[in-house]
Structure 1
Amino acid sequence: MTALTFDTLAYVKTLRDAGVEEKQAEAQASALATVLKGSGEGVATKADIHDLKRDIELLKAESKKDLSETKAELIRWVVGIGFLQSALIIGILAKVAKVI
C-alpha cells in the first residue's frame, strides 16, 4: 500500500500566515492528517489488481475443467438410462409376446 505523507507543520504555518489562529490551524492540521491517514485504506495497487486478474484466470480454468467433467458425467448417466429404458421396454415386449 502506498503511504501518503502530509507535512502538518507546513500546513499550520500556511494557515497562520493566512491569518488563522494558531490553535485553530493546529486543530485543522490534526483533523486533516487523520483523514489523510485513513484515505489510503481500501485502495488497490497495481500488484493487487495483477493478483486479482491471476486469481480470476485460475478460477476460469478450474470452471472449464469442472464443466467438462460435469458434461462427461451427464452423458454417462443419459447413456446408462437409455440402455436401462431399452432393456425395460424389451423385457415388457417379451413378456407381452409370451402372453399372446
Structure 2
Amino acid sequence: MSAPIMFDSLAYTKKLKSAGFTEAQAEVQAETIVEFMEERLATKLDVELIRRDTKEMEVGLKHDVELIRREMKEMDVGLKYDIELIRREMKEMDVGLKHDIELVRREIKEMETNLRHEMKETT
C-alpha cells in the first residue's frame, strides 16, 4: 500500500560516520529509519486512498440517509391514513352510540308510558 519514501540513506550514513559512528552503526541506523518510514509513515498514496475510501463511505451514507427519509415519508403517509381511518370509525361509532342511546330512551319512555297505563288500569 505504501509507496517508497525518498530518503538518502547513503548521505545519512556518511553524516553519522563523520559524527563518530562506525560504518556498521551508521548502516543499521539508516536501515532502521528507512524501515520505519516505509512501514509506519503515511504516504501521499495512503492519504489519497483514505480520502477515496472516505468519499465512498460518504456517498454510501448519503444514499442510506435518503432511503431512510423516503421510508419515513412513506410511514408518515401510512400513519396519517390510519389516523384518518380511526377518526372515521370513531365518528361512526359516535353516531351509532347516539342512535342506540336514543333507542334506549324511547324504549324507557314506552315502558314508562305502559307502566303508567297499567297502573291506571289497576287502580
Alignment TM-score, normalising by the size of structure 2: 0.59
- Is the CA contact (8 Å cut-off) linking 2:17 and 2:23 kept in structure 1? yes
Rounded Cα–Cα distance in structure 2 between residues aligned with 1:65 and 1:23: 63
For the aligned residues, what is the CA RMSD?
2.7
Per the alignment, residue 95 of structure 1 pairs with 97
Rounded Cα–Cα distance in structure 2 between residues aligned with 1:65 and 1:22: 64
Deviation at 1:53, TM superposition (A): 2.3
Rounded Cα–Cα distance in structure 1 between residues aligned with 2:60 and 2:36: 37
Q: Which has the higher contact order (CA 8 A, sep 6+)?
A: 1
Per the alignment, residue 85 of structure 2 pairs with 83
Where does structure 2 lack aligned partners over 5 or more consecutive residues? 103-123
Where does structure 1 lack aligned partners over 5 or more consecutive residues? none
Q: How many pairs align? A: 99
Deviation at 1:51, TM superposition (A): 4.7
Q: List, as ranges, runs of 4+ consecutive aligned residues in structure 1 with deviation greater than 6 Å.
A: none
Instruction: Looking at secondary structure, tell me which structure has more helix per residue.
Output: 2
Q: Percent identity?
A: 22
What SS is found at the alignment partner of 1:20?
A: coil
Moved more, 88-97 or 28-37: 88-97
What SS is found at the alignment partner of 1:37?
A: helix
Alignment TM-score, normalising by the size of structure 1: 0.69
Tell which structure's C-alpha radius of gyration is larger.
2
Rounded Cα–Cα distance in structure 1 between residues aligned with 2:66 and 2:34: 49
